[in-house]
Amino acid sequence: MRTTRIGSGAGFSGDRIEPAEDLLRRAGLADLVLECLGERTVAQAQQRRLADPSLGYERRLPARFTRLLPLAAAHGVRVITNMGAANPLAAGRVTVSIMDSLGLRGRVAVVTGDDVLPVLDLDAPAWETGRPLREHGEIVSANAYLGADALLPALAADVVLTGRVADPSLFLAPLADRLGWDLADVPLAAAGTLVGHLLECAGQLTGGYFADPGFQDVPDLAELGFPYADVAADGTAAFGKLPGTGGLLSRATVREQLLYEITDPAAYLTPDVTLDVRGVRVTDDVRVSGARGAARPDTLKVSVGYRAGSKVEAEISYVGPNAAARGALAADIVARRLAGMPVRAEVLGGETDCRLRVAAIGHDGSLLDRVADEVESLYTNGPAGGGGFRAHVTEVIGIASTTIPRAATHPEVTFLEAPDAAA
């Protein structure tokens, strides 16, 4: 039976790069997928694009591609990634210029159409709160989770860049392409979506979030290997990682990833299929089968980013005998000084080594500064032995979710060539 090998080269924006290099060199992959776009990441990227229209793609794209694309080209591996973030076209142009500078030839495809801010009904209720979206704050982004159907026309390229696409769809599309699947075939779409769900967090499948010394020992996490799957035309999959790499790929690590973030095991909604994982079987040699499914939903999930003000976090430590009592006294003092303000104050740690942490969120910068000042002033106005004060203020992009009719989205694919003919 026909099979194809697909690898997972990144599970989040900050992931390591070496495991993907290793997969490209040694795994004999047909496709490598890099999943780098969290819910908040796209809203933050949108802000960078608003500040500079040439930005808004994943910040680490140049570093990642400079190291990975020469290997992908040398080994004939197609690369698929959502590092386009809030500006996939700019990501495509940067990718072409990186390929030019490395002397690589190839075709880059850019998938757009996930940005639905212009057409979104801001009076629609948010799932999380039930309140209309527009009441949450100034809306900065709205991105629909596109499905595998949006990626299929892009797969003629060597490098495929997207913005917001459902994570498993990044895998289902190339599987369908390599194995000749029809995306309307529900059992196959379910099987491919399960493979994508298992691979999308990269090292989390191979023991990168599992070690518990003495109970769950994982060898050589410093050299963790990322996973790949050999997927057969009937949808069954065998998972592996490269020999000599660290980590652990076992029935236990696969089961943890299988249920990760699934709020209904009978109906996990994706743009491609409604996945039912209740009958999935994982063997001791990490073969996976038994995904079932129902038809895909008529609506797509939309992540809406809004300005939620800023967050201050201020901390100070107490150690030694009676440290917890001094930490508690410090918390009392700050609570009295900030009476009436919605702050969270907690003493973290143990009896002889603890840290007061005070956090608040709001739109009034001077009030947030006051929270930090009150914690800092404990140095000479609080309990004995306070030390290690730190405070920082960060802008907060809140995320609310809603849905949009599938027919209201219009995915498009743009092809670019390296070397850049226009340059």
Partner 1 sequence: MLLHELAHCRAGDKGNTATLSVFPRADADYALLARVLTAERVRAHLAEFVAGEVVRHELPDLCALHFVCHEIVDGGVTTSLALDTHGKSVSSRLLALEIQ
Q: Which stretch binds partner 1 (CB under 8 A): 17-25, 61-69, 188-196, 257-265?
A: 257-265
In the list 89, 335, 359, 367, the residue contacting partner 1 (rule: CB under 8 A) is 359
End-to-end Cα spacing for the chain: 45
Q: At closest approach, how far in Å is the CB of 38 from partner 1?
A: 9
Q: At closest approach, how far in Å is the CB of 422 from partner 1?
A: 40
In the list 62, 290, 349, 419, the residue contacting partner 1 (rule: CB under 8 A) is 290
Residue 358's CB is within 10 A of a number of other CB atoms, namely: 24
Is 357 a binding residue for partner 1 by CB under 8 A? The answer is yes
Q: Are 136 and 124 in contact (CB under 8 A)?
A: no
Residue 224, helix vs strand vs coil: strand
Q: At closest approach, how far in Å is the CB of 346 from partner 1?
A: 8
- Between CA 162 and CA 142 the distance in angstroms is 15
The residue among 57 and 306 lying less far from partner 1, judged by its C-beta, is 306
Is 210 a binding residue for partner 1 by CB under 8 A? The answer is yes
Q: What is the contact mask toward partner 1 in residues 314 to 353, using x (rule: CB under 8 A)? A: ------------------------------x-x-x-----
Q: Which stretch binds partner 1 (CB under 8 A): 72-80, 102-110, 210-218, 372-380?
A: 210-218
Is 361 a binding residue for partner 1 by CB under 8 A? The answer is yes
How far lies 408's CA from each of 45, 85, 405, in Å? 23, 20, 5
380, two tokens: 């000479």
Residue 131's CB is within 10 A of a number of other CB atoms, namely: 11
Sorted by sequence, the CB contacts under 8 Å of residue 201 that are 6+ apart come out as 8, 11, 12, 35, 209, 257, 260
In the list 20, 108, 282, 347, the residue contacting partner 1 (rule: CB under 8 A) is 282
The residue among 21 and 39 lying less far from partner 1, judged by its C-beta, is 39
Q: Which stretch binds partner 1 (CB under 8 A): 96-104, 161-169, 179-187, 255-263?
A: 255-263
Is 260 a binding residue for partner 1 by CB under 8 A? The answer is yes
Taking alpha carbons only, the member of 345, 406, 354 closest to residue 374 is 345
Is 396 a binding residue for partner 1 by CB under 8 A? The answer is yes
How far lies 287's CA from each of 236, 239, 246, 249, 328, in Å? 8, 6, 20, 11, 52
Q: CA torsion sign, 20 to 23 to 24 to 26?
A: positive
In the list 50, 184, 259, 295, the residue contacting partner 1 (rule: CB under 8 A) is 259
Sorted by sequence, the CB contacts under 8 Å of residue 275 that are 6+ apart come out as 190, 193, 194, 197, 267, 268, 269, 291, 292, 293
Q: Are 272 and 172 in contact (CB under 8 A)?
A: yes
Q: Which stretch binds partner 1 (CB under 8 A): 55-63, 146-154, 227-235, 279-287?
A: 279-287
Is 132 a binding residue for partner 1 by CB under 8 A? The answer is no
Q: What are phi and psi of 400, to 5 degrees?
A: -120, 150
Is 107 a binding residue for partner 1 by CB under 8 A? The answer is no
Q: Which stretch binds partner 1 (CB under 8 A): 86-94, 160-168, 178-186, 262-270?
A: 262-270
Q: CA torsion sign, 99 to 103 to 104 to 109?
A: positive
Is 131 a binding residue for partner 1 by CB under 8 A? The answer is no
Is 265 a binding residue for partner 1 by CB under 8 A? The answer is yes
Contact footprint for partner 1 (CB under 8 A): 39-40, 127-128, 209-210, 212, 215-216, 252, 255-266, 277-282, 290, 308, 311, 344, 346, 348, 357, 359-361, 396-399, 401
